[in-house]
Structure 1
Amino acid sequence: MAFNKTGGPEVLHLVDLPTPTPGPDEILLRVAYAGVNYGEIQHRLGDFGEPEGETVTGLEAAGVVAAVGERAAGERAGAAVSAVSVGDRVAAYLPDGGGYAEYVVVPAAFAFPLPDALDLRTGGAAALVLTTAYGVLAGAARLAPGDTVLIHAAAGGVGGVAAQLARALGARAVYGTVSTPEKAAYARAAFGYDEVFVRDDFPAAVTAATSGRGVDVVLDPVGGPTRLASLDVLAPFGRVAVYGEAARHPDLQLPVLPLWKNNRTLTGYNIGDLARRAPETLRAHALNALSLAAAGAVRLDITEEHDLTDAAKAHRLLGEGRNRGKTVLRVDASSSLLPLQRGPASSSPSGV
Structure 2
Amino acid sequence: MEAIAFDTNGGPQVLRRVALADPAPGPGEVLIRVAYAGVNYAEAEHRRGVFGPVNGLEVPGLEVSGVVAGLGAGVDGLAVGQPVAAYLPDFGGYAELAVTRAEFVLPVPDGLDLVAAGGFGCVAPTAYGIVAAAGRLAAGETVLIHAAAGGVGSLAVQIARALGAGTLIGTVGRADKVARAEQLGYDLVLPRTGFAPAVLTATAGRGVDVVLDPVGGSVRAESLPLLAPFGRLVAFGDAAAEADLSLPLLSLWKHNRTAGGYNIGDLARRAPGLWRAHALAVLGLIAEGKVRFEVAEVVPLDEVRAVHERLDAGATVGKIVLRIAAGA
Compute the TM-score of the two structures, normalised by the length of structure 1: 0.90
Q: Distance in 2 between matches of 1:65 and 1:290?
A: 20
Query: Is 2:131 the partner of 1:128?
Result: no
Q: Specify which of 37, 40, 44 is matched with residue 34 of structure 1.
A: 37
CA contact 1:118–1:294 (8 Å) conserved in 2: no
Query: Is 2:148 the partner of 1:145?
Result: no
Q: Where do 1:1-352 residues align within 5 Å? A: 1-71=4-74, 81-189=75-183, 191-332=184-325, 334=327
CA contact 1:40–1:57 (8 Å) conserved in 2: yes
Q: After superposition, what is the alpha-carbon deviation per residue over 1:17-56, rounded to whole angstroms, capped at 9, x for unaligned? A: 1110000110000111001110000110111222222110
Structure 1 residue 253: Cα displacement: 1.1
Q: Distance in 1 between matches of 2:115 and 2:287?
A: 13
Higher RCO (Cα < 8 Å, 6 or more apart): 1
Q: Distance in 1 between matches of 2:239 and 2:254?
A: 29
**Unaligned 5+ runs, structure 2:** none
CA contact 1:152–1:176 (8 Å) conserved in 2: yes
Indicate the SS of the match to 1:56: coil
Q: Distance in 2 between matches of 1:90 and 1:242?
A: 30
Q: Distance in 1 between matches of 2:46 and 2:323?
A: 20
Q: RMSD of the alignment, in Å? A: 1.1
Q: Distance in 2 between matches of 1:32 and 1:264?
A: 44
Tell me which amino acid in the other structure corresponds to 1:52: N
* Matching residue of 1:341: none
CA contact 1:125–1:300 (8 Å) conserved in 2: no
CA contact 1:65–1:85 (8 Å) conserved in 2: yes
Q: Distance in 2 between matches of 1:252 and 1:132?
A: 22
Indicate the SS of the match to 2:18: coil
Q: Distance in 2 between matches of 1:2 and 1:294?
A: 36
Indicate the SS of the match to 1:193: coil
Q: Distance in 1 between matches of 2:64 and 2:79?
A: 17
Q: After superposition, what is the alpha-carbon deviation per residue over 1:79-127, rounded to whole angstroms, capped at 9, x for unaligned? A: xx31211111111111000000000001111011211210000001111
**Unaligned 5+ runs, structure 1:** 72-80, 337-352
CA contact 1:175–1:193 (8 Å) conserved in 2: yes
Q: Distance in 2 between matches of 1:301 and 1:27?
A: 26
Compute the TM-score of the two structures, normalised by the length of structure 2: 0.97
Indicate the SS of the match to 2:16: coil
Structure 1 residue 294: Cα displacement: 3.6
Q: Distance in 2 between matches of 1:229 and 1:34?
A: 35
Q: Distance in 2 between matches of 1:33 and 1:178?
A: 27
Which has the larger displacement, 98-107 or 81-90? 81-90
Give the fraction of aligned pairs with identical amino acids, expressed as a percent: 56
Structure 1 residue 333: Cα displacement: 5.5
Q: Distance in 2 between matches of 1:194 and 1:333?
A: 41
CA contact 1:9–1:315 (8 Å) conserved in 2: yes
Structure 1 residue 258: Cα displacement: 1.1
Structure 1 residue 300: Cα displacement: 3.1
Indicate the SS of the match to 2:47: helix
CA contact 1:34–1:58 (8 Å) conserved in 2: yes
Q: Distance in 1 between matches of 2:206 and 2:77?
A: 47
Q: Distance in 2 between matches of 1:100 and 1:306?
A: 12
